[in-house]
A = this chain, B = another copy of it.
Amino acid sequence: MFESAEIGHKIDKAAYELEVPKLREALLDAQFELAQNAKFQVIIIIGGVDGAGKGETVNLLNEWMDPRHIQTHAFSDQTDEERERPYMWRFWRALPPKGKIGILFGSWYTEPIVNRVMGHTKSAHLDKRLEEIVRFEKMLTDEGALVLKFWFHLSKERQEARLKSLEKDPKTRWRVTDTDWERFKHYDKFRKISEHSLRLSSRAEAPWIVVEGEDPRYRSLTVGKTLLAAIEEKLKDGGTHEKSNGFPLLPALDKRSVIKQLDPGLKLAKRDYEKQLEHLQGKLNLLSRHPEFKKRSVVAVFEGSDAGGKGGAIKRITGALDARQYQVTPIAAPTEEERAHPYLWRFWRHLPRLGRFTVFDRSWYGRVLVERIEGFCSEADWMRAYSEINDFEQELAQSGAIVFKFWLAISKEEQLKRFEEREKIGFKRFKITDEDWRNREKWDAYELAVCDMVDRTSTDIAPWTLVEANDKYYARIKILRTLCDRIERSLPPV
C-alpha cells in the first residue's frame, strides 16, 4: 500500500504557486456552501509516520480555509472523565455537527496500532478492533458524514533524515521528542502493522488516502485537492447519501411471537409484593455499595406500550438507590444540536461514569419502534440501526456497564382499561392525548416491530427482558429481581 508513497513525488514551486490561490478560493467556497446547507459534516482523520507533515498539513488546512468552521481535536492521554466511559466516548464528544469540518489529529486508529506495535496486544485483538472501527465508520457515512482518512507516509531513510534535519534547526528542534526517536526504532514493525490496518479499514465509504510526506508542496496540494473534490462531489447530490435498501421483514407465518407467548395472567398478591419489594430493594442497595461496583456501571433501558407502567417501575429502582448515584434520562424528540449529529450521539452524552446507574425512559430503540412505524426515518436507516445498536451496547459492556433492557408488555384490553381510568382521573399529568389513541390503532405494527427488535438486538451481553406487565406488582418484582440477579453475578462475592 505504501509503494506509491515512496517514489519521491514532487511539485515544483511555479506549478504550486499557480495552483494554490485557485484551490484556496474553491475550498473557501465549498466550506461556505457546506456551512450554509448544513446537510452533512466532514470528518478528516490524520494519521501516519512522525515527521511526515501531519501537523503542518492540519495547520495549512486551517490557514487555507475559514478556521471558524473547523474544529481541530488532538487526542493525547485520556482525561479521567474519559477513562471512566467507553473508549469511543472521547471521539463521540469530538464529532463535528453538520455543516462543520472536524479534523481529528490522532484518532480511533492510534491506540490499537501503537499497542500492537509495542506488543501490548495480540494480532487477533487488533483485527477485532479494526472490525469495530469499520462498523463505526460505516455508521458515520450511513448517517451522511463525509469521512476522509489521510495517512502520511515516509520511507525509513526519509523519516530518519527528516527527524535529523528538524533537530538540527534551532527553530524546529522542539518538535522532535524522545518519543519520536523511540518510535523510529520500531519503524519496520510500525510499517507492517499500519499497512495491515489500512488494508482492513479501507472501504468504499471511507477509503484511506496515502500521501507521501516528503515534499510539502506535493503533500499539501494532494490533501487540499482531495478534500475539495470530495466536498464538491457530496454537495452536488445535495448532501443526501445513497441508501442501500432494506427488504420487508415478514412476521412469522404461524403468527406466534415472543410477545404473544407472554402469559397475560401472571400476577402477584399485594402482600407478597410488599415483602419481595422490601427484600429486593434492600439487596439492590447493598449491591450498589459493593466495593467492586466502583468499577462497573448500570445502563437500564425501559421501553413498553403506552401506559405500560414504566414510570412506576423506574421509581421502584431509584427508590432503592442513593440519589447521588443515579440519573434518570427521559428521551423525547431530539434537539437541534442532537439532530446535527449521528443518531446515537444524543445517548452517548448521557452515559454514566463508573459506579453509577443511568436509567433511560425510552431510548435508542425509538429508531426501530416509533421512527420505523411513523416513517420518521427511511427503511434503510432503521434496518442498519439494529447492528449499530448492537455495536453500541457492546462498547458499553466492554467499558464495564451492565446493560439491561426491559420491555413492559400489556395486553390491548389492559391498555384500554388504563386509558379509560386515566381519563377519569383529574391529574393533568395523566391526560391521555390523541397521540396515545393513534398509537393504539397501530398496535399490530408495534407488535411486529417489537418482535423484530427483540430478535435482532437481544444479545448475551445485553439481553432483552420481556416483562408481563398487566399486573404492576408482578412486573416491578420481575424487573428488580432481574437487576439484582445479574448485577450480583457480575460482581465477585464479598
Contacts and interface: CB of A to CB of B under 8 A. Distances in A.
Interface of A: 25, 28-29, 32-33, 36, 55, 58-59, 61-63, 66-74, 79-81, 103, 105, 174, 289, 311, 314-315, 318-319, 322-324, 326-330, 335-337, 361, 427-429
How many copies of this chain are found per oligomer? Answer: 2
Contacts of A328: 67-68, 70
B335 A67 contact: no
* Interface SS, A side: helix
A32 B63 contact: no
Contacts of A36: 428
A322 B63 CA distance: 11
Given A81-B79, A335-B337, A429-B32, A59 B322 contact: yes
B69 A327 contact: no
B32 A318 contact: no
Nearest to A31: B429
Contacts of A32: 427-429
A318 B58 contact: no
Contact of A68 (B33, B314, B324): B314
Given A29-B427, A428-B33, A429-B32, A323 B68 contact: no
A68 B70 CA distance: 36
A111 to B, nearest CB: 17
A69 B318 contact: no
Given A66-B311, A80-B81, A335-B336, 19 more contacts: A28-B427, A29-B428, A29-B429, A32-B427, A55-B322, A58-B324, A59-B322, A59-B323, A68-B329, A68-B361, A70-B323, A70-B328, A71-B327, A72-B323, A73-B324, A79-B79, A79-B80, A105-B323, A335-B337
Contact of A314 (B58, B59, B67, B322): B67
A8 to B, nearest CB: 27
Contacts of A33: 428
Nearest to A76: B324
A311 B67 CA distance: 9
Contact of A105 (B314, B318, B324): B324
25 contacts: A28-B427, A28-B429, A29-B428, A55-B322, A55-B324, A62-B323, A66-B315, A67-B314, A67-B315, A67-B318, A67-B323, A67-B328, A68-B311, A68-B329, A70-B323, A70-B328, A71-B327, A72-B324, A79-B79, A80-B80, A80-B81, A81-B81, A105-B323, A105-B324, A174-B289
A49 to B, nearest CB: 18
Nearest to A427: B29
Contact of A63 (B59, B315, B337): B315
A123 B16 CA distance: 66
B337 A25 contact: no
Contacts of A428: 29, 32-33, 36
Contacts of A72: 323-324, 326-327
Nearest to A55: B322
A309 to B, nearest CB: 14
Contacts of A103: 323
Contacts of A63: 315, 318-319
A473 to B, nearest CB: 18
A27 B429 CA distance: 12
Contacts of A336: 335-337
